[in-house]
């Protein structure tokens, strides 16, 4: 449908296009790209280069440090050695890995099931429920963490008080549970937006395929499992990738919840450790090295996920 | 201090935004006056204490040649200070937490004020002055102070026939008696996140976290003074005599309001926060001197306090120092800060002020500041801040959280943080003994 509609448009513009071929034609894409490239260079590329550069330096002081003879010295990979040797920083990666292994599949599974339900004919009041699922995403993460913080706290939370009254001695903020309480906030926040991505992917699958499946006698469940999910695999990979990146960069929620529980340490996530080093420790050089390490880890993880999924799809 | 700014900012977010605009616009217009060539200077002042506007108004009227342009810091404004100083766009005067001084000094961010304000030593209590002096150089002028006293629930003490403890031994006995009488009631709270609460107790015991020995820093986080305090807290925790709850959280205030916390041994600025968060308990609190180690001692601890500094790079050091001397030692300015700003001053003139010795309705009409003033005069001059204070404070929070979870003891936490502090100092290339 869309392709046939596009044909006359192309036909109508093609003569003008031919006339326009020349220098201006070739420059046009760059002119349109310029605002993006300019901002990208200033706010993404330059900071990255600056961070990499400053990660190779250290401020050297002596004695009490009151003399004022602070010199910026080239130290090679010293900061990287320190970053990787910082057990708190490394532990943050392990924590996020454990968190990701549980939170990402859970959240994506939920998003997928919801998307499939909304795509099928079983759900009534579709727009209302879709909006309800999506709405938490519109709540800023700091606000989400504050709201859930209240719900996790004894004495002020109706949930905790209710469970206590029923004889369930639950503590959402204990050392062993607080990570999963954080994961819960993330699931609540981002399931909706992932559902929307998967749902729109489902909507773009040609309906004829479903009809063919139905004529072949496939049930709704079989259609979902063997047709719909494989058809939207690229979107699943995309959401999976974004979720992993989001997990490794977790900052707002634990930072906010740290205000209500000491069981979230100052270097709970890699980003929090970077913040601690840079802001509290005033060591932007070491902080830069840590940020580069975090960037590399995310890069490698993304690469692994892409390679793995490519191979899998190739095999199919 | 971060906490107090946070609390203030909570009510002043909207006002802060508009004040920021005012600050910007008046900043540019004042530059015009400074450039008019009549010899007048305009000082930019970033601070957060309430009452500063009123005091500055009086100063500006009396000093046409040294005009002060005030910007009220809210939220995370304090985090902008290092970058502003490093880039030469800092204000001429900045209010900051006393603990921040050394980390800024080693980064060359603070002007050595020994020449300008060095002779003000007698204007302040020994503890306050010791806080702003490092290696015989003065880097700040003390502004407010937070000496400790014991706030206690008069009704609970009366109900269970308890007497207010004067020594830590009596305190422990009182705690046990209270727990026996009411299993839900605790003598105090243990808050891993409130390091000021810990620092005050160590300070009272003539302890410190850091020290200067010749050309080297010392780390005293786990020295004897701290170990003694650790022993007391370990007993309180082991016998379940303190309520483990992070301070300033909704849960904390809920516990206070529910009458589960019978005493709070904290700083002179705390009563105002208590009144704001537990208004229904008006008339049910009293204030007594903090318990001491041995009967007859009058030593008191102190919580966070703030100071005023002059960043490096300002051209008007002499004028800024003159203003700060007036602001923090003159009876005129101190009375305004006490009356309009409810400030507990660091200057001895302020401590002696009539304005401070007013009855407090929330405490049943008691002149509570009489107790706090006596405490202020008896805080040992032992506390020294170090260049990695912020990191160490963050670290000890995490270690105390493990103590609260019974994963380690106070003594183990102190050892861990002491090792961390040494590491951090050494990694900066500083000498550590």
The pLDDT confidence band at residue B428, using thresholds 50, 70 and 90, is confident
CA distance B186 to A285: 46
B105 in Cβ contact with B312 (< 8 Å): no
Set of chain B residues whose Cβ sits within 8 Å of the Cβ of A150: 250
Question: What does the pLDDT look like over A204-230, one tens digit per residue?
Answer: 988 898 889 889 888 888 888 888 999
B19 in Cβ contact with B72 (< 8 Å): yes
Helix (H, G, I), strand (E, B) or coil at B429: coil
> Which of A54-63, B238-247, B365-374 is predicted least confidently?
A54-63
B308 in Cβ contact with B328 (< 8 Å): yes
Q: Determine the average pLDDT of the residues in B402-431.
A: 95
How many C-beta atoms surround the C-beta of residue A6 within 10 A?
10
A156 at B interface, C-beta within 8 A: yes
B400 at A interface, C-beta within 8 A: yes
Task: Output the pLDDT for position B159.
Answer: 97
CB contact under 8 A, B429 and A60: yes
How many C-beta atoms surround the C-beta of residue A75 within 10 A?
17
Nearest to A64 among B248, B254, B431 (CB): B431
Pairing mode, strands B285-288 and B148-153: antiparallel
- Residues in chain A predicted with pLDDT less than 70, given as ranges, are 1-24, 311-316
CA distance A103 to A122: 27
**C-alpha pair distances (Å), B55 with each of B48, B70, B338, B367, B391:** 13, 11, 10, 24, 34
Q: At what angle do helices A233-248 and A178-203 cross, to 10 degrees?
A: 150
Question: What does the pLDDT look like over B105-161, one tens digit per residue?
Answer: 999 999 999 999 999 999 999 999 999 999 999 999 999 999 999 999 999 999 999
Nearest CA in chain B to A154: B251
Task: Output the pLDDT for position B26.
Answer: 37
DSSP characters for A100-117? Answer: HHHHHHHHHHHHHHHHHH
B41-47 β-sheet, strand order: B66-72, B41-47, B93-97, B306-309, B141-142
Question: What does the pLDDT look like over B209-231, one tens digit per residue?
Answer: 999 999 999 999 999 999 999 99
In CATH, the number for domain A83-315 is 1.10.3720.10
> How many residue pairs from chains A and B have C-beta atoms closer than 8 A?
96
Residue of A248, A255, A259 whose CA lies nearest to A291: A248
Closest chain A C-alpha to B184 CA, distance in angstroms: 13
First to last CA, chain A: 30
CA distance A161 to A175: 20
Closest chain B C-alpha to A133 CA, distance in angstroms: 29
Q: Determine the average pLDDT of the residues in B226-237.
A: 97
CA distance A183 to A180: 5
Task: Output the pLDDT for position A63.
Answer: 87
Q: At what angle do helices A178-203 and A141-152 cross, to 10 degrees?
A: 130
A213 in Cβ contact with A206 (< 8 Å): no
Pairing mode, strands B66-72 and B41-47: parallel
**Joined tokens for residue B65:** 């040649």
Largest CA distance in chain B: 75
**Joined tokens for residue B285:** 């609190």
CB contact under 8 A, A174 and B405: yes
Helix (H, G, I), strand (E, B) or coil at A171: coil
Phi-psi region of B379 (alpha: psi -120 to 50; beta: other; left: phi over 0): beta
Q: At what angle do helices A284-315 and A46-54 cross, to 10 degrees?
A: 120
CA distance B367 to B375: 14
Nearest to B390 among A70, A155, A280 (CB): A280
**Joined tokens for residue B210:** 């850091």
State the ipTM, two decimals: 0.84
A69 in Cβ contact with A62 (< 8 Å): yes
Set of chain B residues whose Cβ sits within 8 Å of the Cβ of A276: 391, 394
Helix (H, G, I), strand (E, B) or coil at A153: coil
CA distance B229 to B250: 28
CA distance A151 to A168: 16
Helix (H, G, I), strand (E, B) or coil at B330: coil
Q: Which domains does chain B have, with CATH numbers?
A: 2-145+305-351 (3.40.190.10), 148-302+366-427 (3.40.190.10)
**Percentage of chain B exceeding pLDDT 70:** 91
Break chain A into its structural domains and give their ranges: 21-45, 83-315
- Residue B406 sits at the vertex; the CA angle it makes with B402 and B407, to the nearest 5 degrees, is 55
A143 at B interface, C-beta within 8 A: no
The pLDDT confidence band at residue B171, using thresholds 50, 70 and 90, is very high
Burial of A108 (0-12, 13-18, 19+ CB in 10 A): buried
Place of tokens 């003569």: A15
A72 at B interface, C-beta within 8 A: no
B109 in Cβ contact with B312 (< 8 Å): yes
Position with higher pLDDT, B257 vs A310: B257
B114 in Cβ contact with B248 (< 8 Å): no
This prediction has a pTM of 0.87
Going by C-beta distance under 8 Å and a sequence separation of 6 or more, which residues neighbour residue B328?
A: B123, B141, B142, B143, B308, B334, B345, B346, B347
CB contact under 8 A, A153 and B255: no
Which candidate in A262, A289, A290 is best for mutational testing of the B interface (most B CBs within 10 A)?
A: A262
B148-153 β-sheet, strand order: B263-267, B148-153, B285-288
Closest chain A C-alpha to B83 CA, distance in angstroms: 10
Task: Output the pLDDT for position A223.
Answer: 87
Going by C-beta distance under 8 Å and a sequence separation of 6 or more, which residues neighbour residue B178?
A: B156, B160, B162, B185, B186, B187, B241, B262
Task: Output the pLDDT for position A7.
Answer: 40
- Tell me the H-state helices in B316-409: 317-329, 331-341, 348-351, 368-376, 389-404
A265 in Cβ contact with A88 (< 8 Å): yes
Which candidate in A61, A62, A64 is best for mutational testing of the B interface (most B CBs within 10 A)?
A: A64
Task: Output the pLDDT for position A131.
Answer: 92
CA distance B367 to B359: 4
Closest chain B C-alpha to A98 CA, distance in angstroms: 21
Task: Output the pLDDT for position B39.
Answer: 73
Residue of A91, A111, A108 whose CA lies nearest to A305: A108
CB contact under 8 A, A155 and B254: yes
């Amino acid at each position: 449908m869309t392709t046939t509609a596009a044909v006359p448009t192309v036909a109508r513009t093609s003569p003008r296009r031919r006339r326009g071929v020349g220098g201006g034609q070739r420059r046009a894409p760059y002119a349109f790209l310029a605002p993006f490239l300019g901002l990208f260079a200033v706010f993404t590329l330059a900071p990255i280069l600056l961070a990499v550069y400053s990660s190779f330096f250290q401020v050297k002081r002596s004695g009490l440090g009151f003399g004022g003879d602070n010199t910026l010295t080239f130290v090679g990979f010293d900061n990287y050695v320190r970053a990787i040797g910082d057990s708190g920083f490394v532990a943050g990666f392990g924590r996020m890995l454990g968190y990701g292994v549980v939170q990402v599949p859970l959240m994506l599974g939920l998003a997928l099931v919801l998307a499939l339900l909304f795509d099928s004919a079983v759900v009534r009041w579709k727009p209302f429920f879709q909006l309800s699922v999506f709405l938490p995403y519109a709540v800023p993460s700091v606000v989400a963490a504050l709201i859930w913080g209240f719900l996790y706290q004894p004495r002020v939370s109706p949930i905790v008080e209710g469970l206590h009254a029923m004889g369930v001695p639950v503590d959402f903020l204990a050392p062993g549970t607080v990570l999963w309480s954080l994961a819960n906030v993330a699931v609540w926040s981002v399931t909706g937006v992932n559902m929307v991505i998967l749902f729109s992917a489902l909507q773009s699958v040609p309906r004829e395929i479903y009809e063919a499946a139905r004529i072949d006698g496939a049930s709704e469940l079989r259609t979902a499992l063997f047709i719909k999910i494989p058809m939207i695999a690229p979107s699943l990979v995309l959401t999976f990738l974004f979720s992993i990146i989001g997990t490794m960069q977790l900052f707002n929620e634990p930072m906010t919840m740290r205000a209500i529980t000491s069981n979230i340490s100052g270097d709970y996530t890699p980003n929090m450790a970077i913040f601690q080093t840079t802001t509290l420790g005033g060591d932007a050089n070491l902080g830069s090295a840590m940020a580069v390490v975090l960037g590399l880890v995310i890069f490698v993880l993304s690469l692994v996920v892409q390679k793995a999924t490519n191979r899998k799809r190739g095999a199919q | 201090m971060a906490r107090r700014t946070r609390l203030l900012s909570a009510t002043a977010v909207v006002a802060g935004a508009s004040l920021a605009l005012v600050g910007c616009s008046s900043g540019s217009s004042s530059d015009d006056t400074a450039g008019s060539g009549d010899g007048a200077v305009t000082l930019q002042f970033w601070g957060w204490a309430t009452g500063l506007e009123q005091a500055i108004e009086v100063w500006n009227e009396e000093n046409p040649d040294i005009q002060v342009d005030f910007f009220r810091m809210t939220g995370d404004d304090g985090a902008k200070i290092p970058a502003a100083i490093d880039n030469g766009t800092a204000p001429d005067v900045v209010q900051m937490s006393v603990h921040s001084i050394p980390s800024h000094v080693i980064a060359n961010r603070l002007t050595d004020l020994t020449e300008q304000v060095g002779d003000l030593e007698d204007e302040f209590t020994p503890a306050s002055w010791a806080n702003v002096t490092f290696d015989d150089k003065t880097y700040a002028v003390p502004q407010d102070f937070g000496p400790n006293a014991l706030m206690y629930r008069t009704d609970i003490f009366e109900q269970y026939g308890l007497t207010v403890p004067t020594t830590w031994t009596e305190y422990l006995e009182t705690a046990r008696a209270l727990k026996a009488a009411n299993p839900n009631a605790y003598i105090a709270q243990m808050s891993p996140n409130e390091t000021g609460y810990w620092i005050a107790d160590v300070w009272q015991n003539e302890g410190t976290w850091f020290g200067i020995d010749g050309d080297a820093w010392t780390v005293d986080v786990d020295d004897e003074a701290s170990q003694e305090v650790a022993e007391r807290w370990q007993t309180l925790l082991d016998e379940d005599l303190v309520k483990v709850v992070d301070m300033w959280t909704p849960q904390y205030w809920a516990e206070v309001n529910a009458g589960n916390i019978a005493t709070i041994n904290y700083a002179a600025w705390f009563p105002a926060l208590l009144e704001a968060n537990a208004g229904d308990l008006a008339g049910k609190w009293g204030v007594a001197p903090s318990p001491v180690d041995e009967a007859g001692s009058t030593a008191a601890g102190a919580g966070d306090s703030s100071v005023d500094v002059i960043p490096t790079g300002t051209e008007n050091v002499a004028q800024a120092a003159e203003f700060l001397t007036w602001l923090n030692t003159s009876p005129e300015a101190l009375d305004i800060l006490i009356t309009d700003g409810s400030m507990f001053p660091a200057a001895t003139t302020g401590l002696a002020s009539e304005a401070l010795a007013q009855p407090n309705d929330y405490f049943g009409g008691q002149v509570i500041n009489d107790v706090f003033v006596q405490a202020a005069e008896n805080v040992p001059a032992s506390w020294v801040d170090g260049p990695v204070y912020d990191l160490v404070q963050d670290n000890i929070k995490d270690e105390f959280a493990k103590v609260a979870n019974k994963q380690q003891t106070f003594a183990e936490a102190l050892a861990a943080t002491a090792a961390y502090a040494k590491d951090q100092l050494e990694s900066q290339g500083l000498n550590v003994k």
